[in-house]
Amino acid sequence: MTTESATPAAEHTGRSATAPPPARSATSSPRTAAGSSPSSASTPTGCRAAALPTRMFVLDWLRRGTYRRVVRLTDAGREGLTTAFGVPADRLS
């Protein structure tokens, strides 16, 4: 008679049901041969993601609010987002 000690989910992962998951470092991320993270070429991250709001401040599309992390969309910003990116004006309230 054979008994199974692992649950179906554990069999799927190749670990026993009682084994803890492998340790992961909070500071490490996968790297490619070039040294960049795999998603950096396909998603806007880092400076590319910061470039859009920076440019919107320069164009006076955004203004800083009274409180930290608060920004306000200006009338010029509403018009610019509609013209440049096709965002419907009714979605920019």
Residue 15 has pLDDT above 60, yes or no: no
Render pLDDT for 33-42 as a digit per residue (tens, 0 to 9).
555 555 545 5
Residue pair 37/30 in contact (Cβ under 8 Å)? The answer is: yes
Structure tokens at 8: 């179906």
* Structure confidence by residue, pLDDT tens digits, 21-33: 666 555 555 555 5
| pLDDT given for residue 44 in this prediction | 59
- Based on C-alpha coordinates, what's the Rg of the chain? 24
Answer whether residue 33 is part of any domain. no
User: How many domains is the chain partitioned into structurally?
Assistant: 1
Question: Structural domain of residue 53, as residue ranges?
Answer: 38-93
Higher pLDDT, 22 or 75: 75
The pLDDT value given to residue 25: 54
Q: Which residues of 1-20 are buried (b: 16+ CB within 10 A; e: fewer)?
A: eeeeeeeeeeeeeeeeeeee
> Is 91 among the domain residues?
yes
- Look up the pTM and report it: 0.50
What is the rounded CA–CA span in Å between residue 28 and residue 9? 27
